[in-house]
């Protein structure tokens, strides 16, 4: 019954989305008509008013009902209902509880259902929370949101029904890909989806503002929390995904420039640009058309990301099933939404009045430079990601990997970091170049000092060298806005900016340190034979079999000695029966100055075991930085919210 209830809820939610779209359109048309004087003004206004008033509740109910469908899907997975095809194909009754739960979205259909569920709930949240925006713009926003949701409902119901039954029901399921059987599965997809969907809300706001010709600071202030929220979740999702890939895949790398990773990086880059330009629009009323365009671009990137990951065009753990019909469906949605948004933008951009002007040496100027450089990086990543797919269409098979991205993205990103240090130290509207340089004295000194130190004591590649030097400068520059200020009266969102920028410096230092100082050791080790890896001496004490809930494994015992202390590590080679797979479970020792990463390989005829050992100094800074960036975003969000609540109170007090 649960599956049928879920399917019914899904159809019902789709119908409500259609209703929401139609009502928003009727309401907007009628209220637009009422502004021209006619005889029956009152009548029309009433109809428009009552239709528009109903849009909010419909959006809320739609969100709740689609959530019911998601709960039903989780239900059939938890019950291991083997008469549901999706459960059969992706689950197994002997799987641990957590992976039954998270396994509901560890497959194509379930993950698309999670997508629309979050979309529906976000639409409901907009309807409940948003009170400051002009009512017509809000209705247009909710209409756009329903339009997006409708496409995905159609996709689910017509080509990816998650509640399909299978008859006769098999005795048990095929199991979940063991690479996905990790606590990360419970966390990583929902976070990224919240990020993607948050961007779609920002996009809906932009569409709404274009439709009602209302692009201005009020719209920017309504959109900003959604952009910020989406950006926080994207940051967390990417950081978590990177760490998951790092420890799960056993390759010792944290970013592979895999198209699927790029699919999450591109919306993040666009959202980062949007985040900065929306601040200019909200506080300085500049960059109006620009901000709207960025919202369109950011949404396009999250759609392209969904397309790349969900269409099966790419090969990766993320591409669950290869079905060309589904790919064509998502491609059609992509074309309709992006094409429609661009047409709307082109048609209405003329009505967006130019905002305030500013000098090029100013905070706005630095933010424009930030936006341009982020756009260039975005363009390069987009071309590098799509080129192999386009080439495959012409019968040429090639792949674009780290060498391409390092060579192109690396230098631009470092340039961006340099501007990032200067931006927050510049004044709004107009500033003096010399004064900025004077304010930048300490960061520049830190950069030079780090560069000189590295030059003398370490011989490393040019990119890590520049990366570490600039990270030192940026770390100083990012806390510089707090100098000479009363720390208790500094607004929370300023702390947010400081923390987020500091996070970039920390993360950059980790990346550069990892690529400059990592030491890899690959040996076939006998039991008892000491091996040197970085500051550690490692001995293989022995191998023993162990058994888990749905796997068995060979487990090595390694003693890692550094100075006086010895720590024991247990890397495993795991065998899963459903489906039949072997995975490497790396064992990682984290210390304050880096990580020791150990992987167990195969044995040979002489009784030796392959071991792959990495010493990675300060590699943890990469993810620590990512967490700081997200924390900075959260501080800004809370800070903005508190300020707006306070100013709302003040207005009430005045009235």
Partner 1 sequence: MKAKHQRLTLALLALAAVVGAGLLALSALKDQAAFFYSPSDALRDNPEPGKAVRLGGMVAADSVRRAADGITVRFAVTDGKATTPVMFAGIVPDLFRERSGVVAEGHFNADHSFTATNLLAKHDEKYMPPEVAGAMHETKTLAP
CA distance 33 to 604: 81
CA distance 164 to 506: 48
CA distance 245 to 179: 9
What's the closest the beta carbon of residue 379 comes to partner 1, in angstroms? 3
Applying CB under 8 A, which part among 30-38, 114-122, 435-443, 577-585 lies near partner 1?
577-585
486 three-state secondary structure: coil
Residue 582 binding partner 1, by CB under 8 A: yes
Q: At 58, which helix (H) or strand (E)?
A: helix 41-79
> CB-wise, 243 or 404, nearer to partner 1?
404
Residue 290 binding partner 1, by CB under 8 A: yes
What's the closest the beta carbon of residue 404 comes to partner 1, in angstroms? 4
Residue 583 binding partner 1, by CB under 8 A: yes
Single out the residue of 321, 336, 347, 438 in contact with partner 1 (rule: CB under 8 A).
321
Residue 87 binding partner 1, by CB under 8 A: no
DSSP labels, 135-204: HHHHHHHHHHHHHHHHHHHHHHHHH--TT-B-SSPPSS-----GGG-STHHHHHHHHHHHHHHHHHHHHH
> CB-wise, 170 or 379, nearer to partner 1?
379
Contacts to partner 1 from residues 366-425, by CB under 8 A: 368, 372-373, 375-380, 383-384, 387-388, 392, 396-401, 403-404, 407-408
Using a 10 angstrom Cβ sphere, with 0-12 exposed, 13-18 middle and 19 or more buried, the burial of residue 471 is buried
Single out the residue of 316, 494, 559, 591 in contact with partner 1 (rule: CB under 8 A).
316
- Centre a 10 Å sphere on the Cβ of residue 396 and count the other Cβ atoms it contains: 10
CA distance 97 to 82: 16
What's the closest the beta carbon of residue 43 comes to partner 1, in angstroms? 42
Distances (CA, A) of 498 to 264, 418, 493, 503, 631: 24, 15, 9, 8, 10
| Pattern 177-196, partner 1, x by CB under 8 A | xxx-----------------
CA distance 613 to 615: 7
Count of residues engaged in binding partner 1, rule: CB under 8 A: 61
> CB-wise, 580 or 655, nearer to partner 1?
580
What's the closest the beta carbon of residue 543 comes to partner 1, in angstroms? 15
| Pattern 199-238, partner 1, x by CB under 8 A | ----------------------------------------
Residue 559 and residue 533 in contact, taking contact as beta carbons nearer than 8 Å = no
CA distance 597 to 534: 11
**Pairing of the two strands 536-547 and 551-562:** antiparallel
> CB-wise, 166 or 638, nearer to partner 1?
166
| Pattern 100-139, partner 1, x by CB under 8 A | ----------------------------------------
> CB-wise, 45 or 608, nearer to partner 1?
608
> CB-wise, 392 or 437, nearer to partner 1?
392
What's the closest the beta carbon of residue 377 comes to partner 1, in angstroms? 8
Residue 345 binding partner 1, by CB under 8 A: no
What's the closest the beta carbon of residue 580 comes to partner 1, in angstroms? 7
What's the closest the beta carbon of residue 268 comes to partner 1, in angstroms? 17
Single out the residue of 494, 557, 559, 581 in contact with partner 1 (rule: CB under 8 A).
581
Residue 252 binding partner 1, by CB under 8 A: no
Residue 31 and residue 48 in contact, taking contact as beta carbons nearer than 8 Å = yes
Single out the residue of 317, 338, 492, 588 in contact with partner 1 (rule: CB under 8 A).
317
> CB-wise, 572 or 620, nearer to partner 1?
572
> CB-wise, 612 or 616, nearer to partner 1?
612
CA angle, corner 328, sides to 326 and 329, nearest 5?
65
Residue 612 binding partner 1, by CB under 8 A: yes
What's the closest the beta carbon of residue 284 comes to partner 1, in angstroms? 13
Dihedral (CA of 225, 227, 475, 254) sign: positive
Tell me the backbone φ, ψ of residue 357, rounded to 5 degrees. -95, 165
Using alpha carbons, select from 155, 201, 215, 156 the residue that is nearest to residue 299: 201
Applying CB under 8 A, which part among 47-55, 263-271, 312-320, 482-490 lies near partner 1?
312-320
Contacts to partner 1 from residues 497-536, by CB under 8 A: 522-524
CB within 8 Å of 106: residues ≥ 6 apart:
90, 99, 176, 177, 180, 185, 189, 320
Residue 296 DSSP class: H
Applying CB under 8 A, which part among 223-231, 299-307, 432-440, 598-606 lies near partner 1?
598-606
Single out the residue of 4, 390, 604, 648 in contact with partner 1 (rule: CB under 8 A).
604
Single out the residue of 432, 552, 590, 602 in contact with partner 1 (rule: CB under 8 A).
602
Using alpha carbons, select from 145, 130, 129 the residue that is nearest to residue 66: 145
Tell me the backbone φ, ψ of residue 532, rounded to 5 degrees. -100, 130
Residue 331 binding partner 1, by CB under 8 A: no
Helix ranges restricted to H, 217-354: 217-249, 259-284, 288-310, 324-348
What's the closest the beta carbon of residue 92 comes to partner 1, in angstroms? 14
Terminal-residue alpha carbon distance, the chain: 56
> CB-wise, 83 or 375, nearer to partner 1?
375
What's the closest the beta carbon of residue 100 comes to partner 1, in angstroms? 18
What's the closest the beta carbon of residue 202 comes to partner 1, in angstroms? 19
Using alpha carbons, select from 353, 250, 268 the residue that is nearest to residue 305: 268
Applying CB under 8 A, which part among 36-44, 209-217, 579-587, 627-635 lies near partner 1?
579-587
> CB-wise, 145 or 311, nearer to partner 1?
311
What's the closest the beta carbon of residue 607 comes to partner 1, in angstroms? 10
Residue 236 and residue 271 in contact, taking contact as beta carbons nearer than 8 Å = no
CB within 8 Å of 606: residues ≥ 6 apart:
none
Q: At 396, which helix (H) or strand (E)?
A: none
CA distance 386 to 463: 25
Applying CB under 8 A, which part among 65-73, 98-106, 606-614, 621-629 lies near partner 1?
606-614
Single out the residue of 475, 599, 628, 637 in contact with partner 1 (rule: CB under 8 A).
599
Q: How many residues does the chain have?
A: 655
Single out the residue of 429, 584, 627, 641 in contact with partner 1 (rule: CB under 8 A).
584
Residue 254 binding partner 1, by CB under 8 A: no
CA distance 440 to 473: 9
Residues lying near partner 1 in the complex (CB under 8 A) are found at 177-179, 250-251, 287, 289-290, 315-317, 319, 321, 354-359, 368, 372-373, 375-380, 383-384, 387-388, 392, 396-401, 403-404, 407-408, 522-524, 573, 579-584, 599, 601-602, 604, 606, 608, 610, 612
């Amino acid at each position: 019954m649960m599956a049928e209830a879920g399917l019914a809820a899904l159809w019902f939610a789709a119908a409500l989305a259609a209703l929401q779209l139609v009502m928003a359109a009727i309401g907007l048309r009628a209220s637009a008509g009422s502004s021209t004087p006619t005889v029956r003004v009152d009548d029309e206004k009433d109809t428009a008013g009552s239709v528009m008033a109903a849009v909010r509740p419909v959006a809320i109910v739609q969100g709740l009902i689609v959530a019911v469908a998601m709960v039903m899907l989780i239900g059939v997975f938890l019950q291991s209902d083997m008469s549901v095809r999706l459960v059969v194909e992706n689950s197994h009754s002997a799987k641990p509880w957590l992976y039954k739960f998270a396994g509901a979205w560890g497959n194509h259909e379930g993950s698309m259902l999670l997508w629309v569920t979050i979309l529906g709930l976000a639409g409901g949240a907009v309807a409940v929370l948003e009170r400051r925006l002009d009512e017509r713009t809000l209705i247009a926003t909710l209409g756009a949101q329903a339009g997006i949701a409708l496409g995905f409902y159609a996709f689910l119901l017509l080509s990816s029904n998650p509640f399909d039954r299978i008859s006769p029901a098999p005795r048990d399921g095929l199991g979940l890909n063991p690479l996905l059987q990790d606590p990360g599965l419970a966390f990583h997809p929902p976070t990224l989806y919240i990020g993607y969907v948050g961007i779609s809300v920002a996009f809906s706001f932009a569409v709404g503002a274009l439709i009602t010709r209302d692009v201005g600071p009020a719209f920017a202030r309504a959109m900003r929390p959604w952009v910020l929220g989406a950006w926080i979740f994207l940051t967390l999702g990417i950081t978590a995904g990177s760490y998951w890939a790092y420890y799960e895949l056993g390759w010792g790398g944290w970013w592979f420039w895999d198209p699927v990773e790029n699919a999450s990086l591109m919306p993040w880059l666009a959202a980062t640009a949007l985040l900065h330009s929306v601040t200019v629009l909200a506080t300085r009323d500049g960059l109006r058309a620009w901000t709207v365009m960025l919202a369109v671009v950011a949404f396009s990137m999250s759609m392209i990301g969904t397309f790349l990951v969900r269409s099966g065009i790419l090969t990766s753990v993320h591409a669950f099933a290869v079905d060309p019909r589904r790919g064509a469906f998502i491609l059609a949605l992509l074309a309709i939404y992006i094409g429609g948004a661009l047409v709307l933008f082109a048609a209405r951009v003329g009505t967006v009045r130019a905002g305030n002007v500013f000098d090029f040496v100013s905070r706005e100027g630095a933010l424009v430079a930030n936006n341009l450089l982020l756009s260039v990086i975005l363009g390069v990543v987009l071309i590098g990601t799509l080129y192999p797919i386009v080439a495959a269409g012409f019968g040429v098979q090639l792949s674009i990997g780290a060498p391409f991205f390092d060579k192109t993205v690396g230098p631009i990103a470092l340039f961006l970091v340099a501007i990032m240090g200067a931006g927050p130290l510049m004044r709004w509207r107009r500033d003096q170049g010399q004064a900025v340089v004077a304010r930048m004295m300490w960061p520049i000194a830190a950069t030079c000092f780090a560069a000189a130190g590295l030059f003398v004591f370490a011989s490393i590649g040019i990119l890590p060298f520049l990366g570490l030097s600039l990270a030192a400068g940026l770390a100083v520059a990012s806390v510089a806005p707090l100098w000479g200020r009363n720390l208790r009266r500094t607004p929370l969102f300023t702390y947010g900016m400081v923390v987020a920028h500091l996070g970039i410096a920390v993360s950059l230092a980790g990346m550069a340190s990892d690529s400059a100082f990592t030491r890899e050791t690959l040996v076939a080790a006998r039991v008892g034979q000491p091996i040197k890896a970085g500051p550690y001496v490692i001995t293989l004490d022995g191998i023993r079999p162990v058994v888990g809930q749905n796997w068995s494994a060979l487990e090595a015992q390694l003693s890692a000695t550094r100075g006086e202390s010895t720590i024991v590590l247990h890397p495993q080679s795991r065998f899963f029966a459903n489906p039949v797979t072997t995975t490497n479970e790396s064992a990682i020792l984290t210390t304050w100055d880096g990580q020791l990463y150990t992987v167990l390989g195969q044995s040979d005829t002489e009784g030796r075991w392959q071991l792959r050992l990495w010493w990675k100094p300060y590699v943890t800074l990469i993810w620590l930085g990512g967490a700081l960036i997200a924390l900075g975003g959260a501080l800004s969000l809370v800070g903005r919210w508190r300020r707006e609540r306070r100013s709302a109170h003040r207005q009430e007090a005045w009235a």
